[in-house]
Amino acid sequence: MHKTNDVAYLLRNLNSELFNSKRFMIVSLLYIFGKMKLSELRKILDLSWGDLDTHIKKLVEQGYVELWKEPGEKKVLETVAYLTEKGRQEYEKLYDVLRAISSQIETK
C-alpha cells in the first residue's frame, strides 16, 4: 500500500469522539492520573464549567468516563471522574493510531 493510502486509512480510523482536543485533554489526564475532581480538571485545562460539562457528558454517553460524588473539603460532595475500561481501551487505540501516523511522518 502506498504511504499516502496508509496515512489516509489511519486518519479515517481516528476516534472522532476522543480526538476532539478538549475531550482528548480530559481523557489524557484521567488516563495518566486516574480519578480527578471536575474542579481540578476545569482548573488545569482552563475550561469554563459549561465547556467541561458538555465534554464530560459526551464522554459519559460514550461509556468512556464515569462520574460519582465523594466527600471533599468542608464535607461538601464533589463530583469525581474516572476513565472506564472501555475509555482506557479506546484511548490506547487512539494513541496507537497517532503513533503510527507519527512513524509515517518520521520516515518521510
Q: End-to-end distance of the chain based on CA atoms, in angstroms?
A: 15
Mean pLDDT by groups of 10 residues along the chain of 108 residues = 67 79 95 96 97 97 96 84 97 88 70
Residue 37 backbone dihedrals phi, psi, to 5 degrees? -70, 145
Contact 13, 98 (CB under 8 A): no
Q: Report the distance separating Cα 97 and Cα 12, nearest Å.
A: 10
Q: What pLDDT does 108 receive?
A: 56
Domains in the chain, please, with CATH?
3-106 (1.10.10.10)
pTM: predicted TM-score of the whole model, two decimal places: 0.83
The C-alpha angle with vertex 18 and arms to 12 and 22, in degrees rounded to 5, equals 125
Amino acid at 75: K
